[in-house]
């Protein structure tokens, strides 16, 4: 069973996006690389220019410039500005995507309906027109259809109280080496709000913790459980460098997954997604180990990491059986098709399907009922045939006409004139035959329908009233035929589950946008 769609926004300044040439270079000239621009501009601080809260863009006119990102999910949407789709090429897993009619507003391109799993997006420029990348919306998977589990978000702060959060994070080699580092921001230097044009302010951030990862012994290690996805947020700037994060175990049964990321930027930003993972098994315990990349520059470069928050999303257990409301046997195979752009609503999602035992019981009951009805009909037809034969023999012996009901046409038998040969007081000469007397009786055997006549089988049966018949006294009592019980169809099929629709993520310009139920982070 695939998880439900869940959208995440990744800003153009996030180290989760790889650029070529690197965005870490001070490229004031857009003809030679990626230039960083903030909608509200920048302000000077002791550590360099600080990007003010707002939308960030990376723009260039360099032909051959590229950006790429990896994710686990089913869809991706790329936003920015370009003159035409001829200026860029979008590839998913190495396959070039057709982009007729793009860009549409600020939507540069999209891909939907991918099988749930790991994918890679690559966008390359093929012209010299200006191109600006704004952000990407990625559809990942969180939660499961019909599960009573409520998706839970929790945030772990790097600094809890007066110092580093040693209860969750393992700061190696020692916590003091992190706390006493000259370039550490754990004192909260960036928590003060900055005034923006129009009187607005940047949002304060939690106190960050930082250290220079200048050797193999300096590392950040932590364990995760009950996590479907996580996002490490922190600071990017000129002191940062190339890092390597190792996730153990890896995804899809792999021993580990290694993810490089570069948190260096010519413009400092205090709240960006540094490193993230999705597609995790929330019942699995993972270890995350972050250290210096083997490809990182050697000192005197700082290669510093500064983070302040770890956001964790728990989508609930994967092995959930919506029929029984309990975790199911992982060896069983049950799949639920999910449109990657829509999700079922909460209302009506807890309707239960009939269990296998209930269906089996109903099936057996129906078979027994049909068998019983068939036996009763055959028995009834046989009795009717025998009764007609006996009536004919009695009539032949007593010289009377057997009573035969009128056909089932809706006429009342009370309207029929009695047979002239039937008289209650009629007598015959004593020597010819013994005298037979008749009297009315309330006993009556229903007239048997002629099932060999197709008109009887196809014509509707109307209400029929029978006149009180007469019969001879010495014929003996005859049991009244019993009609078969009416079949009661009391079980109804289960209704199909409805689906919920993801809300639309925010965009700068009007254009086709991805459905988005909920976005964990909308980067500035």
Distance CA 127, CA 377 (A): 84
- Confidence class for position 502, pLDDT limits 50, 70, 90: very low
Distance CA 420, CA 436 (A): 16
Distance CA 166, CA 181 (A): 16
Place of tokens 């006429």: 411
Q: Please answer whether residues 11 and 524 qualify as being in contact, where contact means their C-beta atoms are separated by less than 8 angstroms.
A: yes
131-141 and 152-157 strand pairing: unpaired
Place of tokens 């995804």: 251
Distance CA 309, CA 305 (A): 13
Mean pLDDT of 151-170: 89
Mean pLDDT of 296-312: 76
Distance CA 524, CA 263 (A): 16
pTM above the 0.75 mark?
Answer: no
Question: Is 498's pLDDT higher than 70?
Answer: no
Q: Compute, in degrees rounded to 10, the torsion defined by CA atoms 98, 100, 105, 110.
A: -30
Question: Is 25's pLDDT higher than 50?
Answer: yes
- Confidence class for position 394, pLDDT limits 50, 70, 90: low
Q: CA geometry: angle at 44 spanning 41 and 46, to 5°? A: 150
For residue 240, give the DSSP letter.
B
Distance CA 403, CA 350 (A): 63
Instruction: Output the pLDDT for position 177.
Output: 73
Cα torsion 514, 519, 523, 524: sign: positive
> What integer best gives the mean pLDDT of the chain?
71
Distance CA 74, CA 121 (A): 12
Q: Which CATH class is domain 4-314?
A: mainly beta
Q: Please answer whether residues 165 and 207 qualify as being in contact, where contact means their C-beta atoms are separated by less than 8 angstroms.
A: no
Q: Please answer whether residues 12 and 137 qualify as being in contact, where contact means their C-beta atoms are separated by less than 8 angstroms.
A: no
Instruction: Output the pLDDT for position 321.
Output: 54
Instruction: Output the pLDDT for position 82.
Output: 94
- Confidence class for position 40, pLDDT limits 50, 70, 90: confident
Q: Please answer whether residues 125 and 85 qualify as being in contact, where contact means their C-beta atoms are separated by less than 8 angstroms.
A: no
Distance CA 434, CA 398 (A): 9
Instruction: Output the pLDDT for position 173.
Output: 85
Q: Can you spell out the DSSP letters for 469-481?
A: PEEEGGG---PPP
- Report helix, strand or coil for 345: coil
Q: Please answer whether residues 129 and 286 qualify as being in contact, where contact means their C-beta atoms are separated by less than 8 angstroms.
A: no
DSSP H or E run through 455? helix 454-458
- Confidence class for position 80, pLDDT limits 50, 70, 90: very high
Q: Can you spell out the DSSP letters for 295-322?
A: TSPPTTS--EEEEEEEEEEE---SSEET
> DSSP H helical segments within 318-407, as ranges?
356-398
More confident site: 344 or 252: 252
Q: Which of 105, 116, 140 is nearest to 502 (CA)?
A: 140
Cα torsion 232, 238, 239, 242: sign: positive
Beta bridge partners of 240: 304
Distance CA 425, CA 174 (A): 124
Distance CA 356, CA 363 (A): 11
Cα torsion 223, 227, 229, 230: sign: negative
Mean pLDDT of 503-513: 46
Annotate 474-486 with b (16+ C-beta within 10 A) or e (fewer).
eeeeeeeeeeeee
Question: Is 477's pLDDT higher than 80?
Answer: no
Instruction: Output the pLDDT for position 484.
Output: 42
Instruction: Output the pLDDT for position 109.
Output: 96
377 torsion bin: left (phi>0), alpha (psi -120 to 50), beta (else) = alpha
Instruction: Output the pLDDT for position 203.
Output: 64
- Residue length, the chain? 524
142's tokens: 């969180």
117-125 and 131-141 strand pairing: unpaired
Beta bridge partners of 21: none
Q: Which of 411, 424, 408 is nearest to 469 (CA)?
A: 424
- Report helix, strand or coil for 291: strand
117-125 and 88-92 strand pairing: antiparallel
Q: Which of 34-38, 71-75, 259-263, 422-426 has the highest mean pLDDT?
A: 71-75
How far CA 165 is from CA of 21, 109, 172, 309, in Å, comes to 36, 41, 13, 11
Count CA within 13 A, CB hemisphere, residue 284: 19
Q: CA geometry: angle at 317 spanning 313 and 319, to 5°? A: 150
Question: Is 116's pLDDT higher than 60?
Answer: yes
Question: Is 467's pLDDT higher than 70?
Answer: no
Q: Tens digits of per-residue pLDDT, 278-303? A: 999 999 999 999 988 877 665 545 67
Question: Is 214's pLDDT higher than 60?
Answer: yes
178's tokens: 């992190």
Q: Which of 212-221, 300-309, 407-416, 515-524 has the highest mean pLDDT?
A: 212-221
Please classify residue 115 by burial: count the beta carbons closer than 10 Å to its beta carbon, then call 0-12 exposed, 13-18 middle and 19+ buried: exposed
Instruction: Output the pLDDT for position 127.
Output: 82
For residue 519, give the DSSP letter.
B
């Amino acid at each position: 069973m695939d998880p439900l769609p869940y959208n995440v926004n990744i800003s153009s300044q996030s180290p989760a996006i790889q650029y070529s040439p690197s965005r870490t270079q001070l490229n004031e000239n857009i003809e030679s690389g990626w230039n960083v621009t903030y909608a509200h501009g920048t302000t000077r601080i002791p550590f360099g220019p600080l990007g003010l809260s707002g939308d960030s863009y990376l723009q260039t006119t360099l032909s051959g410039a590229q950006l790429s990102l990896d994710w686990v999910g089913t869809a991706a949407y790329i936003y920015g500005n370009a003159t035409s789709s001829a200026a860029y090429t979008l590839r998913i897993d190495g396959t070039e995507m057709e982009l007729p009619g793009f860009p549409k507003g600020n939507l540069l391109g999209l891909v939907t309906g991918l099988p749930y799993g790991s994918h890679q997006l690559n966008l390359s420029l093929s012209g010299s027109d200006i191109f600006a990348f704004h952000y990407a919306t990625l559809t990942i998977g969180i939660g499961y259809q019909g599960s009573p589990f409520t998706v839970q978000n929790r945030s772990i702060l790097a600094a809890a109280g007066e110092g580093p959060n040693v209860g969750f994070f393992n700061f190696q080699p020692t916590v003091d080496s992190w706390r006493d580092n000259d370039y550490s921001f754990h004192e909260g230097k960036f928590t003060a709000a900055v005034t923006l044009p129009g009187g607005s302010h940047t949002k304060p951030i939690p106190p960050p913790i930082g250290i220079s990862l200048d050797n193999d012994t300096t590392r950040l290690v932590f364990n995760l459980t009950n996590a479907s996805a996580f996002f490490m947020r922190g600071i990017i700037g000129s002191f940062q460098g190339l890092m390597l994060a190792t996730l153990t175990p890896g995804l899809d049964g792999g021993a580990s997954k290694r993810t490089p990321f570069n948190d260096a930027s010519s413009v400092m930003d205090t709240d960006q997604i540094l490193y993230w993972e999705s597609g995790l098994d929330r019942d699995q315990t993972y270890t995350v180990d972050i250290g210096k990349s083997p490809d990182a520059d050697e000192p005197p470069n700082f290669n510093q990491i500064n983070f302040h928050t770890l956001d964790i999303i728990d989508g609930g257990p994967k092995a959930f059986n919506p029929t029984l409301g309990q975790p199911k046997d992982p060896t069983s195979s049950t799949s639920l098709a999910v449109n990657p752009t829509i999700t079922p609503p909460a209302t009506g999602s807890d309707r239960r399907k009939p269990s296998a035992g209930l269906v089996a019981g109903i099936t057996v009951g129906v078979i027994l009922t049909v068998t019983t009805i068939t036996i009763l009909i055959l028995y009834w037809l046989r009795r009717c045939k025998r009764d007609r034969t006996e009536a004919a023999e009695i009539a032949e012996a007593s010289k009377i006409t057997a009573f035969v009901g009128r056909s089932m046409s809706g006429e009342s038998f009370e309207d029929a004139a009695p047979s002239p040969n039937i008289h209650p007081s009629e007598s015959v000469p004593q020597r010819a035959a013994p005298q037979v007397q008749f009297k009315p009786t309330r006993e009556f055997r229903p007239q048997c329908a002629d099932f060999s006549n197709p008109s009887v089988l196809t014509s509707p049966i109307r209400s029929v009233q029978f006149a009180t018949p007469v019969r001879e006294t010495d014929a003996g009592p005859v049991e009244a035929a019993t009609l078969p019980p009416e079949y009661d169809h009391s079980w109804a099929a289960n209704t199909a589950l409805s689906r919920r629709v993801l809300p639309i993520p925010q965009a700068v310009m009007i254009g086709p946008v991805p459905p988005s139920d909920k976005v964990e982070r909308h980067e500035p």
